[in-house]
């Protein structure tokens, strides 16, 4: 790479990747994972590395610690404090790993050894890299745990990874990485799977590491919006190439590369903007590209783009770009222009849940897990109901309850006017579901056509008509009929989810439940699927329930929204009302934590600790986490009360605004 | 204690299984063709003689009465009287159990340790020459019938090389071993009888080797696969990426995580080995439990068959219980 | 003796074998008298090691323990009052079943009615416990035998002893046996049955529930025989030591004998070759031929009265037709079996009467291997093909090989045989049911007389009449033979017997294999036991 | 710029290749064995139970490629013909065990509750039962023969499959596609047959070949104990055990060829199983 693209002073640079290319040779195939990647990280700096999966983000991280997969062929230079990681011998590499650069792995629970207490694992790092012994190591471990926000660190040191919640595990992972006292801290998708309230907290830890300890931080994420706040600079990867990099504020607000823009516009905005989908998917490179890899998906692509690879050019200061057609329109306007609202007339009641409780009994002995407590809902054809809440709040149980997959221990569920447990086989297909895991919800050894036709088979639709209807559903999903004979593992996530939606549609159901349908998908694909779902949900023939932990996705097309917390409905109402004027402190906290592009703000309500199911015993479910808790909250069960158009289960709603201002 | 409660609950669960085994065996031996009484009487015995003998063993009683008597006896630890020998089954069984357990326990222990060592070694060299060699050799060992392997080892180790004692006993009678448990090596160690220790150990080498070769492959395969899984796990990669030294990685991150799945397989191997040592016992003149049970079966010695099936079944389920406890101990994720 | 009927696997060595034809009434036997036993007199080495194929099931001869290893051991460790003498047969010494002499006893003689037999004990014969062997011991032992209602009690019935009251103690050293009727078999039967327990010692272990100390004797060896058991590891090894207190002249020559259990024949053979054992009791067939060539090993060999035959049930289809029986008799490859199974080490038989038995005539069995004649015989029965099963002892190599050879050849004559190896329990049961159409049997007649043979095999009610033969003429001859004493008259009867049997064809007489025993070269003094139970006291080892 | 091959922390990409070698070699062996079994009559002049009247234990060469055994039968012919029985019994027994075990496992795993409890206790009972005693009991009850041995060995193996499939089904029934099938109105039988069965067979496919090898060894063990096929039927285990004394005498040909045949075939199954296992492991990663 031409050296003029590097503008930072070499002296202050810690990590300096230059022209790094990685090709992985596997029997029968070859993957160009990275092509001519260059960027750098200085001490005290937080750099975001963003892009969708397959873009090569993790490969960069692996190259930095010298752990490329076998069969990898790396060229270029991974400079670290003057040395080249790619040329280090085993001993140097052993020194470099951990104390030079330490990775926080993507899936903290998977990355913690399951058979060793987390304390031991931390002490192992301290002993190795900080040369500590016995008591001092234990003491330091405790301090490190406390530093990442683990309460009761002494007890937690004795815990095994499986005993930790996701957020706790991520904190432990961070402490393990910092325990190595690295120059560079690499965080690989540190917030994936975490609830919004936690995401901010975790990201703040990295900012903290850069600010107070002067470490360089490389923050890897597919989600530009969430890391935007903490990054100094961002590097956008697409198909193994750096398409854009520069100061975070600039790149996020005025992205010049069409891909960066597509990425940003694919992220649903909690403020009400609807996503704009970009067709297609990321190509898998077999060799370093000779054209612009984004060209096939790019609206601005010209013949140049399709034949020549754009050079990386400097726009301004740090801002570099690899594109022939840099865009200059501000992004926000572009979004606003696309915003539409669908309104439909409500029809018959298709779902009626009355005071439903669900308890999962443990197999032995007494007790059990109370997943839903007194939930009541009603939904009409043509309506779309959004259900939001953190993981563990009972969202999925609600979906299962509607589908008749779990039985209410109390209360009743009626779909299309008939009790769920009393349905015949054909009647059961009146409600359909779109699942979280698109590929996992398709039977691995059944063809796509088979899977789609399943509800029709149950409804005893004759074979000929079945084929017609399957084809029609497929057409609506804009899929080619040739896909019918394929098996699930041959599908991409986006294709599989379209199949899932087609299956749900094919039987012309009265109700469709979307259970986190996009959470497993990449951002641009997510946008595509959200587009499809919005279209499907606007049908007048059926009602839709859209369940998501991501508030923003719900806002796009739901008519009403329900906020669940620990199995209870804490707030419900028209979507705009709930989002724009939240009543319940929990809803406020959720909305406050949701990332917003281009805005840096703090939530008006901050919950005081991580979600813990044990808190739900008596009184208000949120009592243990609510900053405004009183004794009344702790002792009195809260029920939904009307506040304007919405209803919320909190007696302090009227005084909340004042309380928040005071704090 | 949670673990005690777990063991207690599991022991309770064993009751229906063992009861099932008792009922099944009881019925089975009686449904089989063949008359146990005729096999102890001479050809000149009259029906009256046979009836007298039948009465002596309670075989003239109605079936349900026999069963209740037998069940009643079981609760007091009385397994009945052997039809062949006229001696209480409990005592005979105690004598026969020691030698077999000695053989199987030592062999399976060695096999497990060897499998752990070789399996991890092999996994760390995955797909290199050493790895392939070890695995192929283990598969070879696994593919030879034990009785044939036994004979070959005798031919080589005893007849040709003369390194090992004649396969006609378990300890040199001149070593004057005081029998306590029936397991010679254990007895020799307890009594501190030097010559007996070396003699018992020498007699153990070939039969143990035969069993070890026979059962190593599945254990090795399992350890290697688990070790590879650990080596390729994110957790291990994370530890390696944090630059932990080899020794810490091996001890703290690889070994225990690898062993997590081994106990239940080891239990299965133990159970199978216990049920099929009869072949090895036969070849090595090892007068153990298998020989005794099989002989009982061929002579339709009802109490012997019933007792031996029950004991093997009991040992089997017990070993699985132990395996589960060990598993729980190794794997903190297991709730018991 | 027969190649000890110990199977290859030792698991089945009893095998419902007919080896022990110790049964039922028949009159006295032909006589042979040269009682002088001249046991070899090499310098006795201290220890002989013998491999047997299985451990004895019990030490208690009264109650259970009917297996060959046990019976052999009993002969050597129980004090028997009388026993067979020894005689020469060709080069080798054999037990003389006709000459029964007192051993531990002083004398055993009948009165003139032949109904009251007086047993006089020697004075001063001591059990190892220090108790003297006295009449009370005999009485207790016989009471125990009656109480057991098993082995001895069963045999005693044949000589009119059924109640304990018939055994009367006269004084400390004299016991009288009052038979219900006189019998020529008394000595034979008593030779098998007159063993005594150390009753003083035994009573210590008796309880109310177990007055005969069954539990004790099931596990503890009796004392006071030619040998005492000094150590017994169950299932594995038995150590015998010569009983110094034996009052007679022909006590044990070897101070110590170790019997170790080696089930695998190949294993026994290896150990014999290596010199780790001196005598291998479990080796048969081809191995014997091989061992003849091995250095340091000799195979003791002698002609034997062991008969190998296939008994056909004359009451069970298809062998209820005499022509089918004849067809099979023609279809058996006699020479080939002798060659393939016995390595030529067996004598072909031309009569139902064993070779070496008075009355044997070459014409007694007019069948030779001839497939054409077999087909013709089958045709005569009106059939062209028959099916049956051939039963033999499971895990008996020899019988198995015979069965294989027979099956192959019989098939050529149109007789399809399904081979059915049976385990002892099943074999015993089916024999009791008398439902086996065709079975291989092997065995020795203890009394060298055709009358005894008839009584054992061919008359109605005979224990081993597996042919279910019920021939009026034979019954008549049998009855007549009881009172026929004159040699030529008897021979006349026997010739009739042979022609009747030749016409009836109750069995296929395969051959009379020779006796073979592989031993180390230093082993001397082997006496071939005509009852199949080795008398270890004659054995010695030249250094 | 210099190209650098990174030393991998753990190598993995050659896995697939070795698995392939294992699978090819294993199935190659089995194909050859199966061909030998099928073509046995064409490859020999002697029948497997035909007795050569000229004598027993003839050394290899001349009339008999591998000599004759103690009964005067041609060893080469017997080794070939035995493949039919050994492979046939092993494969059929395992197939039967798979069918029965899978059915039980499917029912127990999916229905759960008391069905699971009862079925699994029955499985426990059978699994705790010693192999050889179970084998003898089955053979004594059913009478001898090919079918009996198939049933015997199947009975010994079926419990393991029941467990395996049950465990798999218990995992699978939590899968989203099962929920999807339920909400699509599939019947219980439909779910078991169309969704659970095909997917739960994945581990079975790996275990079954290994198990076939083990079944052959069990068959040999049964024959050795006299519980297997009746003489003179050609079967490797029984040939080996009949020839053990011959080995001691230096007459290797009666038991070494069947021993090698058995070893090679078991090895074939083991290699195939090991290869499949490795491929499955590789796929899982």
Q: Which residue has the tokens 């801290």?
A: A185
Residue C4: name the closest of C325, C414, C300, C274 by CA.
C300
pLDDT at B276 over 90: no
Asked if the C-beta of C410 comes within 8 angstroms of chain D's C-beta atoms, the answer is no
Residue A603 is encoded by which pair of tokens? 């939530």
User: Are A122 and A144 contacting, i.e. CB atoms less than 8 angstroms apart?
Assistant: yes
Residue B110 is encoded by which pair of tokens? 């060695």
Where residue B117 falls among pLDDT bands split at 50, 70, 90?
very high
Contacts of B186 (CB under 8 A, 6+ apart): B98, B102, B180
Average predicted confidence (pLDDT) for chain D: 84
Residue A123: name the closest of A147, A101, A144 by CA.
A144
Q: Of the candidates C9, C269, C405, which has its C-beta nearest D71's C-beta?
A: C405
Separation CA C401–CA C540 (nearest Å)? 35
Asked if the C-beta of C444 comes within 8 angstroms of chain B's C-beta atoms, the answer is no
Number of domains in chain D: 1
Which residues of chain B make contact with A110, given a CB cutoff of 8 A?
Answer: 233-235
Which residues of chain D make contact with A440, given a CB cutoff of 8 A?
Answer: 175-177
Q: Do C264 and D249 touch (CB under 8 A)?
A: no
Separation CA A267–CA A246 (nearest Å)? 20
Contacts of C536 (CB under 8 A, 6+ apart): C48, C50, C76, C226, C227, C240, C252, C254, C257
Which residues of chain A make contact with B328, given a CB cutoff of 8 A?
Answer: none
Task: Give the mean pLDDT of C365-388.
Answer: 91
User: Are D125 and D134 contacting, i.e. CB atoms less than 8 angstroms apart?
Assistant: no
- CA of B331: which chain A residue's CA is closest? A115
The DSSP result for D187-215, as a single string, is -HHHIIIIIIHHHHHHHHHHHHHHHHHHH
Backbone angles phi, psi at C309, to 5 degrees: -145, 170
For residue D19, the model assigns a pLDDT of 84
Which residues of chain B make contact with C266, given a CB cutoff of 8 A?
Answer: 151
Mutant choice from C23, C61, C189, C267 vs B, greatest count of B C-beta within 10 A: C267
Q: Min CA distance, C105 vs chain B (Å)?
A: 27
Query: Taking a contact as any Cβ pair under 8 Å apart, which residues of chain C between 199 and 228 contact chain B?
Result: 214-215, 218-219
Q: Which tens digits make up the pLDDT trace of D161-170?
A: 998 999 889 8
Residues of chain A with CATH 3.40.50.300: 15-107+183-190+215-286+296-304+313-333, 341-566
Contacts of B3 (CB under 8 A, 6+ apart): B325, B328, B336
Q: Do C234 and B41 touch (CB under 8 A)?
A: no
Contacts of B273 (CB under 8 A, 6+ apart): B104, B107, B108, B211, B214, B215
Q: Do C9 and D72 touch (CB under 8 A)?
A: no
For residue C406, the model assigns a pLDDT of 93
Query: Taking a contact as any Cβ pair under 8 Å apart, which residues of chain D between 51 and 90 contact chain B?
Result: none
The CB density around residue A331, as the number of other CB atoms within 10 Å, is 18
- CA of A126: which chain B residue's CA is closest? B244
Where residue B285 falls among pLDDT bands split at 50, 70, 90?
confident
pLDDT at D285 over 60: no
Kindly list the residues of chain D whose beta carbon comes within 8 Å of any beta carbon in chain C. Answer: 49-51, 53, 55-57, 70-72, 140, 144, 225-226, 230-232, 242, 244-249
Q: Do B32 and D10 touch (CB under 8 A)?
A: no
- Where chain A has pLDDT below 70, the residues are 1-12, 271-274, 330-346, 362-368, 596-604, 609-617, 663
**For strand C256-261 and strand C47-52, is the pairing parallel, antiparallel, or unpaired?**
parallel
For residue A3, the model assigns a pLDDT of 39
Q: Which tens digits make up the pLDDT trace of B225-272?
A: 889 888 888 888 888 888 888 888 988 899 988 998 899 889 989 988
Q: What is the largest CA-CA distance in chain C?
A: 73
Q: Do B294 and D127 touch (CB under 8 A)?
A: no
Mutant choice from A66, A124, A163, A193 vs B, greatest count of B C-beta within 10 A: A124
CATH number of the domain encompassing residue D52: 1.10.3720.10
Residue C125: name the closest of C196, C44, C212, C60 by CA.
C196
Angle at D176 between CA D174 and CA D182, to 5 degrees: 90
More confident call, C386 vs A615: C386
User: Are C22 and B42 contacting, i.e. CB atoms less than 8 angstroms apart?
Assistant: yes
For residue C333, the model assigns a pLDDT of 92
Q: Which residue has the tokens 């025989």?
A: C225
Q: Do C408 and D57 touch (CB under 8 A)?
A: no
Which residues of chain B make contact with A59, given a CB cutoff of 8 A?
Answer: none
| Per-range mean pLDDT, top range of A195-199, B199-203, C149-153, D227-231 | B199-203
Q: Of the candidates A27, A428, A437, which has its C-beta nearest D16's C-beta?
A: A27
Mutant choice from D125, D139, D160, D251 vs B, greatest count of B C-beta within 10 A: D125
Residue D34 is encoded by which pair of tokens? 């199966």
Q: Of the candidates D49, D56, D248, which has its C-beta nearest C270's C-beta?
A: D248
CATH topology of domain A341-566: Rossmann fold (3.40.50)
Q: Which tens digits make up the pLDDT trace of C5-55?
A: 323 333 223 223 333 333 333 333 333 333 333 333 333 457 899 999 888
The CB density around residue C411, as the number of other CB atoms within 10 Å, is 14
Asked if the C-beta of A174 comes within 8 angstroms of chain B's C-beta atoms, the answer is no
Separation CA C441–CA B142 (nearest Å)? 41
Please state whether the predicted TM-score (pTM) of the whole model is above 0.90: no
Q: Min CA distance, B333 vs chain A (Å)?
A: 6
Q: Do C64 and B86 touch (CB under 8 A)?
A: yes
Q: Which tens digits make up the pLDDT trace of C298-334?
A: 998 888 888 999 999 999 989 999 999 999 999 999 9
Q: Of the candidates B234, B243, B252, which has its C-beta nearest A120's C-beta?
A: B252
**Which helix (DSSP H) or strand (DSSP E) does residue B78 occupy?**
none
Which residues of chain D make contact with C395, given a CB cutoff of 8 A?
Answer: 226
Residue spans of alpha helices (H) in C438-505:
450-453, 472-483, 487-504
Residue C392 is encoded by which pair of tokens? 């033999």
For residue C22, the model assigns a pLDDT of 36
For residue A546, the model assigns a pLDDT of 93
Query: Taking a contact as any Cβ pair under 8 Å apart, which residues of chain A between 319 and 378 contact chain B?
Result: 364
Range of the domain at D47: 2-284
Q: Do A94 and B243 touch (CB under 8 A)?
A: yes
Handedness of CA B11, B13, B19, B25 (dihedral sign): negative
Q: Min CA distance, D139 vs chain C (Å)?
A: 12
The rounded percent of chain B whose pLDDT value lies above 70 is 99
Mutant choice from B33, B40, B161 vs C, greatest count of C C-beta within 10 A: B40
In b/e form, how buried is each residue of A405-418, taking b as 16+ CB within 10 angstroms? bbebeebebbbbee
Backbone angles phi, psi at A374, to 5 degrees: 60, 55
For residue C462, the model assigns a pLDDT of 82
Q: Which residue has the tokens 């998917």?
A: A281
Separation CA A529–CA A548 (nearest Å)? 14
For residue A131, the model assigns a pLDDT of 86
Q: Which tens digits make up the pLDDT trace of C137-171?
A: 999 999 998 988 877 887 788 788 989 999 999 99
Residue A579 is encoded by which pair of tokens? 């989002």
For residue A362, the model assigns a pLDDT of 60
C-alpha distances out from residue A244 to A5, A304, A318, B83, C283, Å: 12, 18, 10, 90, 90
For residue A600, the model assigns a pLDDT of 54
For residue D230, the model assigns a pLDDT of 82
User: Are D174 and D117 contacting, i.e. CB atoms less than 8 angstroms apart?
Assistant: no
Q: Of the candidates D6, D175, D184, which has its C-beta nearest A454's C-beta?
A: D184
Crossing angle of the two packed helices D197-224 and D146-172, in degrees rounded to 10: 150
Average predicted confidence (pLDDT) for chain B: 87
Cross-strand pairs, A369: A360
Residue C424 is encoded by which pair of tokens? 């002892």
Pick the CATH number of A15-107+183-190+215-286+296-304+313-333 from 3.40.50.300, 3.40.50.620, 3.10.180.10, 3.90.1010.10: 3.40.50.300
For residue C139, the model assigns a pLDDT of 94
Backbone angles phi, psi at A83, to 5 degrees: -95, 160
């Amino acid at each position: 790479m031409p050296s003029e693209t590097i503008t930072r002073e070499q002296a202050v640079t810690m990590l300096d990747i230059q022209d790094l290319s990685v090709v992985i040779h596997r029997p029968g195939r070859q993957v160009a994972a990275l092509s001519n990647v260059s960027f750098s990280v200085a001490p005290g700096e937080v750099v975001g590395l963003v892009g969708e999966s397959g873009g090569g983000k993790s490969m960069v991280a692996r190259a930095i610690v010298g752990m490329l997969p076998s069969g990898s062929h790396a060229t270029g230079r991974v400079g670290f404090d003057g040395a080249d990681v790619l040329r280090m011998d085993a001993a140097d590499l052993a020194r470099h790993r951990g104390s030079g650069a330490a990775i926080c792995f993507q899936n903290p629970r998977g990355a913690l050894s399951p058979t060793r207490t987390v304390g031991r694992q931390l002490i192992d790092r301290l002993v190795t890299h900080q040369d500590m012994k016995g008591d001092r190591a234990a003491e330091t471990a405790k301090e490190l745990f406390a530093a990442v926000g683990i309460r009761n660190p002494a007890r937690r040191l004795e815990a095994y990874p499986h005993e930790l919640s996701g957020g706790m595990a991520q904190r432990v992972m961070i402490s393990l990485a910092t325990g190595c006292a690295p120059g560079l801290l690499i965080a690989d998708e540190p917030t994936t799977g975490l609830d919004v309230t936690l995401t901010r907290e975790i990201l703040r830890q990295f900012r903290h590491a850069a600010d107070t300890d002067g470490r360089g931080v490389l923050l890897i994420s597919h989600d530009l919006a969430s890391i935007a706040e903490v990054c100094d600079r961002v590097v956008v990867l697409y198909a193994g190439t750096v398409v854009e990099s520069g100061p975070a504020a600039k790149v996020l607000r005025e992205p010049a590369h069409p891909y960066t823009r597509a990425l940003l516009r694919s992220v649903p905005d909690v403020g009400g903007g609807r996503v704009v989908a970009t067709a297609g998917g990321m190509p898998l490179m077999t060799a370093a590209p000779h054209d612009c890899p984004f060209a096939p998906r790019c609206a601005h692509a010209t013949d140049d783009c399709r034949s020549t690879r754009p050079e990386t050019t400097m726009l301004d200061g740090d801002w570099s770009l690899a594109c022939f057609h840099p865009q200059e329109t501000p992004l926000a306007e572009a979004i606003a222009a696309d915003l539409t609202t669908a309104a439909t007339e409500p029809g018959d009641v298709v779902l009626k849940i009355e005071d439903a409780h669900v308890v999962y009994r443990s197999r032995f002995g007494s007790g059990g897990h109370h997943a839903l407590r007194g939930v009541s809902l009603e939904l009409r054809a043509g309506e779309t109901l959004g259900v939001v809440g953190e993981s563990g709040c009972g969202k999925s149980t609600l979906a299962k309850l509607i589908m008749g997959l779990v039985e209410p221990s109390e209360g009743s569920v009626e779909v299309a006017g008939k009790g769920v447990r009393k349905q015949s086989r054909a009647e059961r297909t009146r409600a359909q579901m779109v699942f979280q895991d698109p590929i996992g919800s398709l039977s691995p050894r059944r063809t796509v056509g088979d899977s789609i036709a399943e509800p029709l088979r149950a409804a005893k639709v004759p074979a000929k008509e079945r084929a017609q209807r399957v084809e029609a559903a497929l057409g609506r999903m804009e899929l080619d009929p040739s896909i019918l004979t394929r098996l699930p593992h041959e599908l991409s996530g986006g294709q599989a989810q379209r199949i899932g939606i087609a299956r749900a549609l094919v039987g012309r159901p009265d109700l469709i439940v979307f259970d986190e349908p996009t959470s497993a998908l990449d951002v641009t694909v997510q946008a595509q699927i959200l587009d499809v779902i919005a279209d499907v949900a606007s049908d007048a023939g059926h009602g839709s329930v859209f369940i998501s932990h991501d508030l923003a996705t719900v806002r796009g097309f739901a008519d009403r929204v329900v906020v669940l917390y620990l199995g209870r409905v804490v707030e419900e109402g028209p979507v705009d009302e709930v989002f724009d004027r939240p009543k319940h402190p929990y809803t406020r906290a959720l909305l406050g934590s949701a990332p917003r592009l281009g805005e840096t703000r703090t939530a008006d309500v901050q919950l005081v600790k991580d979600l813990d199911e044990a808190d739900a015993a008596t009184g208000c479910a949120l009592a243990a986490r609510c900053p405004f808790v009183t004794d009344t909250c702790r002792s009195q069960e809260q029920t939904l009360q009307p506040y304007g158009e919405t209803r919320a289960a909190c007696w302090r709603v009227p005084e909340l605004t004042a309380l928040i201002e005071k704090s | 204690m949670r673990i005690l409660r777990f063991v207690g609950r599991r022991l309770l669960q064993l009751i229906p299984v063992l009861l099932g085994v008792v009922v099944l065996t009881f019925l089975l031996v009686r449904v089989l063709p063949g008359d146990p009484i005729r096999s102890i009487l001479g050809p000149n015995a009259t029906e009256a003689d046979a009836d007298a003998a039948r009465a002596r063993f309670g075989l003239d009683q109605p079936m349900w009465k026999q069963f209740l008597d037998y069940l009643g006896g079981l609760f007091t630890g009385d397994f009945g009287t052997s039809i062949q020998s006229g001696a209480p089954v409990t005592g005979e069984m105690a004598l026969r159990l020691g030698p077999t357990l000695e053989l199987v326990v030592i062999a399976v222990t060695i096999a497990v340790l060897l499998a752990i060592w070789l399996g991890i070694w092999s996994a760390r060299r995955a797909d290199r020459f050493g790895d392939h060699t070890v695995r192929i050799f283990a598969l070879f060992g696994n593919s030879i019938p034990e009785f044939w392997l036994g004979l070959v080892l005798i031919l080589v180790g005893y007849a040709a090389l003369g390194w090992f004692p004649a396969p006609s006993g378990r300890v040199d009678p001149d070593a004057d071993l005081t029998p306590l448990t029936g397991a010679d090596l254990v007895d020799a160690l307890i009594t501190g009888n030097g010559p007996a220790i070396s003699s018992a150990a020498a007699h153990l080498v070939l039969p143990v080797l035969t069993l070890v070769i026979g059962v190593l492959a599945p254990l090795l395969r399992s350890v290697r696969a688990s070790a590879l899984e650990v080596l390729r796990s994110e957790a291990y990669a994370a530890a390696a990426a944090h630059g932990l030294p080899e020794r810490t990685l091996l001890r703290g991150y690889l070994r225990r995580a690898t062993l997590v799945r081994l106990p239940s397989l080891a239990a299965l191997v133990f159970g199978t080995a216990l049920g099929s040592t009869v072949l090895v016992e036969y070849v090595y003149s090892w007068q153990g439990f298998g020989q005794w049970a099989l002989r009982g079966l061929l002579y339709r010695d009802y109490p012997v068959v019933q007792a031996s099936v029950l004991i093997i079944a009991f040992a089997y389920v017990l070993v699985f219980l132990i395996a589960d406890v060990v598993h729980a101990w190794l794997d903190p994720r297991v709730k018991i | 003796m027969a190649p000890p009927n110990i199977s290859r696997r030792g698991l089945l060595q009893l095998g419902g074998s007919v080896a022990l034809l110790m049964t039922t009434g028949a009159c006295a036997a032909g006589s042979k008298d040269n009682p002088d036993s001249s046991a070899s007199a090499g310098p006795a080495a201290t220890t002989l090691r013998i491999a047997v194929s299985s451990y004895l099931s019990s030490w208690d001869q009264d109650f259970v323990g009917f297996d060959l290893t046990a019976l052999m051991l009993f002969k050597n460790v129980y004090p028997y009052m009388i026993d067979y003498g020894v005689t020469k047969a060709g080069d080798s010494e054999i037990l003389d079943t006709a000459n029964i002499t007192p051993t531990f006893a002083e004398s055993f003689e009948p009165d003139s009615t032949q109904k009251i037999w007086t047993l006089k004990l020697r004075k001063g014969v001591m059990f190892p416990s220090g108790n003297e062997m006295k009449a009370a011991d005999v009485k207790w032992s016989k009471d125990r035998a009656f109480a057991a209602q098993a082995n001895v009690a069963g045999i005693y019935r044949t000589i009119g002893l059924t109640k304990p009251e018939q055994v009367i103690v006269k004084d400390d050293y004299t016991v009288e046996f009052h038979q219900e009727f006189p019998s020529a078999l008394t000595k034979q039967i008593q030779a098998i049955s007159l063993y005594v327990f150390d009753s003083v010692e035994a009573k210590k272990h008796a309880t109310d529930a177990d007055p005969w100390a069954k539990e004790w004797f099931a596990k503890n060896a009796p004392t006071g025989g030619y040998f005492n058991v000094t150590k017994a590891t169950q299932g594995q090894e038995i150590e015998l030591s010569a009983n110094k207190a034996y009052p007679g002249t022909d006590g044990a020559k070897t101070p110590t004998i170790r019997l170790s259990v080696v089930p695998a024949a190949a294993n026994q053979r290896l150990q014999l070759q290596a010199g780790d054992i001196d005598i291998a009791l479990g080796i048969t067939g081809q191995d014997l031929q091989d061992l003849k060539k091995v250095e340091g090993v000799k195979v003791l060999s002698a002609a034997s009265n062991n008969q190998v035959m296939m008994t056909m049930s004359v009451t069970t289809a298809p062998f209820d037709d005499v022509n089918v029986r004849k067809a099979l008799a023609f279809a058996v490859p006699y020479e080939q079996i002798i060659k393939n199974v016995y390595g030529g080490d067996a004598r072909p038989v031309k009569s139902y009467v064993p070779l070496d038995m008075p009355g044997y005539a070459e014409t007694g069995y007019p069948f030779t291997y001839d497939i054409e004649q077999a087909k013709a015989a089958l045709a005569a029965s009106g059939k062209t093909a028959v099916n049956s099963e051939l039963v033999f002892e499971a895990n008996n190599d020899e019988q198995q090989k015979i069965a294989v050879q027979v099956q192959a050849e019989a098939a050529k004559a149109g007789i399809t045989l399904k081979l059915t190896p049976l385990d002892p329990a099943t074999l015993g049961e089916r024999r009791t049911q008398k439902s086996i159409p065709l079975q291989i049997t092997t065995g020795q007649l203890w009394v060298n007389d055709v009358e005894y043979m008839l009584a054992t095999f061919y008359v109605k009610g005979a224990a081993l009449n597996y042919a279910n033969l019920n021939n009026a003429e034979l019954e008549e001859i049998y009855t007549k033979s009881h009172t026929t004493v004159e040699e030529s008259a008897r021979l006349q009867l026997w010739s009739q017997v042979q022609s009747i049997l030749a016409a009836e064809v109750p069995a296929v007489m395969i051959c009379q294999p020779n006796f073979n025993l592989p031993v180390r070269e230093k082993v001397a003094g082997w006496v071939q036991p005509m009852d199949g139970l080795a008398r270890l006291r004659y054995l010695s080892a030249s250094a | 710029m210099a190209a650098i091959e990174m030393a991998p922390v753990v190598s993995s990409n050659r896995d697939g290749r070795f698995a392939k070698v294992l699978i090819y070699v294993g199935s190659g062996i089995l194909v050859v064995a199966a061909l030998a079994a099928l073509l046995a009559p064409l490859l020999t002049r002697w029948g497997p139970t035909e007795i050569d009247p000229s004598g027993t234990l003839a050394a290899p060469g001349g009339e008999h490629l591998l000599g004759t055994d103690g009964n005067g039968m041609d060893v080469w012919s017997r080794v070939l013909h035995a493949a039919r029985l050994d492979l046939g019994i092993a494969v059929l027994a395992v197939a039967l065990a798979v069918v029965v075990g899978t059915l039980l496992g499917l029912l127990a795993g999916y229905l759960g509750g008391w069905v699971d409890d009862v079925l699994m206790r029955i499985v426990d009972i059978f699994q705790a039962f010693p192999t050889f005693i179970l084998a003898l009991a089955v053979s004594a009850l059913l009478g001898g023969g090919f079918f009996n041995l198939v049933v015997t060995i199947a009975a010994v193996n079926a419990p393991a499959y029941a467990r395996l499939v049950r465990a798999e089904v218990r995992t699978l029934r939590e899968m989203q596609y099962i929920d999807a099938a339920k909400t699509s109105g599939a019947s219980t039988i439909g779910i078991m047959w169309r969704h659970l069965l095909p997917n739960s067979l994945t581990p079975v496919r790996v275990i079954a070949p290994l198990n076939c090898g083990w079944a052959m060894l069990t068959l040999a063990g049964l024959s050795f104990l006299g519980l297997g096929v009746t003489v003179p039927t050609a079967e490797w285990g029984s040939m080996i055990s009949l020839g053990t004394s011959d080995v001691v005498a230096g007459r290797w040909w009666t038991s070494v060829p069947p021993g090698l045949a058995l070893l090679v075939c078991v090895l074939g199954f083991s290699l195939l199983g090991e290869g499949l296992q490795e491929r499955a492991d590789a796929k899982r990663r």
